[in-house]
Amino acid sequence: MQPDEPPLSPRDEGPPDAPGVGEDVCGACHGTGTVEGQRCSVCNGTGKVLQGIGGG
Ligand SMILES: [Zn+2]
């Protein structure tokens, strides 16, 4: 038995962001995508890097 849910949830399908998976701010350019005027070679100018899961 579950009580009536209040209509306060406009969206309740799927998590917005799964923790521990996805992208992370590039540590080399701090998310700017550029280092000293040059395109960051670590994130390729995207400012984000993919986080490895499970440790590799
Ligand atoms: Zn970068």
Higher-pLDDT residue of 28 and 50 is 28
- What residues does the ion ligand 1 have nearby, CB within 5 Å? 26, 28-29, 40, 42-43
Res 43: pLDDT: 93
Q: How far is the CA of 42 from the centre of ligand 1 (A)?
A: 5
Q: How far is the CA of 25 from the centre of ligand 1 (A)?
A: 8
Output Rg (C-alpha) for the chain, integer angstroms. 19
Contacts of 28 (CB under 8 A, 6+ apart): 35, 40, 41, 42, 43
User: Residue 17: is its pLDDT beyond 60?
Assistant: no
Q: How far is the CA of 26 from the centre of ligand 1 (A)?
A: 4
Res 50: pLDDT: 86
- Smallest CA-to-CA distance from 28 within 16, 14, 13, 39 is with 39
Mean pLDDT value across residues 27-35:
96
Q: How far is the CA of 41 from the centre of ligand 1 (A)?
A: 6
Res 9: pLDDT: 65
User: Residue 32: is its pLDDT beyond 90?
Assistant: yes
